[in-house]
Amino acid sequence: MTCSAELLCVGNELLIGKTANTNATWLARRISSLGGSLNRVTTIGDDLREIRESTRIILARKPDFLITSGGLGPTFDDVTIKGLSQALRRRLKINKEALDQIRARYKEVFASRYFALTKFRAKMAAFPVGAKPLLNPVGTAPGMALRVGKTLIVCLPGVPSELRAIFSRHVAPIIKLKAGTGGYVSRSVSVRGIFESELAPLIDRVMKRYPEVYVKSHPRGGEGRAKSHIEMDFSYSGHDMEKGRQVVSDAIAQMMRHLSGRARVAEKQSA
């Protein structure tokens, strides 16, 4: 069983370099570890037209999951769900369950102090018709889930702690169920004293012998042969995890034989 996913990351801060897109990195690792396949990461600004058009383009590819991050808060530029509703041509409506979650969360935050459910706070409960809220145990803005054809759209806040909490509680189990017995194995090797161009034919030989294993080299700097440092990732994605662990081990062993006497090799901690 296959399980495909795409990410739509929303936020001007991502495009101007103010904020590193750590959410995409974290989600990519989690989706892979659950047996899913992340096909694309699209990053756009807080712009209604961009959100609307990007959503339509992604949905046309019919992934199993479209996961958005950012733009769910109370401010004027939090427009992810509004853009999504325009893409789907579904009107926005206050979702009572989401509103109750927001009200309960703010009461918890404010404790005995005065609390008012302003229009800015209520805005976070405006969902397209048919959407379901995902409880946010860390912050105030609920996540949202909405099925469109074969695609489950999931909207997550941009705050990393909130995104991770909602994903782990509500989304990860669904991806795992969809992926079935699928999973991901990854191990890394650090190589010093050889150029990447010299590694290239060795990588080809290993991947031809073990076609299930993907080998990726990552230069880590250093000039000249003596200082050259390259990390190599050996990964397997599939449904037979016992086989995956074995073929990754075999591929690393073959690579180490190829490099014996030519470079300094050390295996890093497994991912």
The CATH classification number of 183-267 equals 3.30.70.600
Q: Where are the alpha helices (DSSP H) in 123-240?
A: 160-166, 172-179, 196-209
- Domain range 4-179, CATH class: alpha beta
Say how many residues make up the chain: 271
Of 59, 74, 70, 85, residue with least CA distance to 6: 59
Express each pLDDT in 24-72 by its tens digit.
999 999 998 888 999 999 999 999 999 999 999 999 999 999 999 999 9
244 vs 224, higher pLDDT: 244
Q: Domain residues of the chain, as ranges?
A: 4-179, 183-267
Report the pLDDT averaged over residues 6-13: 98
Look-up of token digits 């949905």 = 59
The contacts of residue 93 (CB under 8 Å, 6+ apart) are: 126, 127, 128, 129
Express each pLDDT in 172-207 by its tens digit.
999 999 988 767 888 999 999 888 999 999 999 999
Say how far apart CA 66 and CA 251 lie, in whole Å. 33
Report the pLDDT averaged over residues 236-264: 89
Instruction: Enter the pTM of the model.
Output: 0.80
Of 236, 237, 270, 230, residue with least CA distance to 251: 236
In this structure, what token pair is assigned to residue 79?
């427009």
